[in-house]
Amino acid sequence: MAARCRATTSTAMPAKSRWEKVVAVVLALLLWQLGAMALNSPILLVSPLRVLVRLSELVRQSSFYAAIGFSLARIVTGFLFGLIGGSLLAAAASRWHPVEVLLWPYITVIKTTPVASFIILCLIWLDSSNLSVFIAFLMVLPIVYANVLEGIRQTDQKLLEMARLFRVGFGRRLRYIYLPQLRPYLTTACSIALGLSWKAGIAAEVIGIPDGSIGEMLYEAKVYLSSPDLFAWTVVIIAVSILFEKLFLLLLKAGYSRLEQG
């Protein structure tokens, strides 16, 4: 019994410290560098140093920032539409059961259909320059919908009873009961949806090839077999995606702090 207890305790993994993360990243880069040196074929695997050099060349070009701006604006727009749309639909579904039932097939199809199918289908309907807006929206919508709906369902019924007894209006119930209780659900939904909107949005751009987008840069890197460009743009996508996620979650946290301060 004692041995079992010890075994249970030892399975609890401590959180990664900043130093541990730095060491892990440095080792991964080192392994990548050694792999690239061993293969000795920049087309198959470019070295991290070469990627760094290419990145330093790219940041000196105005088209670099234009491409980031193009993709960022569209993916963020799609994300925000998905966030607002998913929240409103979840609110409606929690209030009226038939809405939830009628939405169920759409949400299930969106969740299960491969993103590539949607991209190709949407290319028929939409101008390729706005494709990433719609694809990011589609990826975000079901995640936000499911999380917000669950959050509304988990709202403390006793607090709602209290508000009803004191005849508190919907606006104040939303601000003081629903929004605070939705916080963990919204944070989780946004955290997942932000990363996914970038992945799907860029995939849409690579297939739709709108002029001046990050997707177009990736497509050209593939056509010209330019691994340094491919890796450099991938690093940019990861960096912008992480930065936007951190910024958005920070804004969400600040918004909630302001809400609680009244």
Q: Which residues bind other proteins (CB under 8 A)?
A: 158-159, 161-163, 165-168, 172, 176-177, 180, 260, 262
Beta carbon nearer to other proteins, 138 or 152: 152
Instruction: Show Cβ contacts of residue 142 under 8 Å, excluding neighbours closer than 6 positions.
Output: 86, 107, 110, 111
Give 192-246 as a DSSP string: HHHHHHHHHHHHHHHHH--TTSHHHHHHHHHHTT-HHHHHHHHHHHHHHHHHHHH
Least Å from the CB of residue 261 to other proteins: 8
Nearer residue to other proteins within complex by CB, 20 or 161: 161
Tell the residue number behind the tokens 């900043």, with chain if given. Answer: 18
95 Cβ contact list (under 8 Å, min separation 6)? none
Closer to other proteins at the Cβ: 92 or 160? 160
Please list the helix, strand and coil fractions of the chain in percent, rounded to the nearest 5, in that order.
85, 0, 15
Provide the minimum distance between the beta carbon of 166 and other proteins in the complex, in angstroms, as a whole number: 4
Closer by beta carbon to other proteins, 22 or else 162: 162
At 215, phi and psi to the nearest 5? -60, -40
What is the nearest approach in angstroms of other proteins to the Cβ of residue 186?
14
Measured CA distances, 20 to 14, 24, 56 (Å): 11, 6, 27
Q: Which is nearer to other proteins, 219 or 256 (CB)?
A: 256
Q: Provide the minimum distance between the beta carbon of 167 and other proteins in the complex, in angstroms, as a whole number.
A: 7
The distance of closest approach from Cβ of residue 162 to other proteins in the complex, given in angstroms and rounded to an integer, is 4
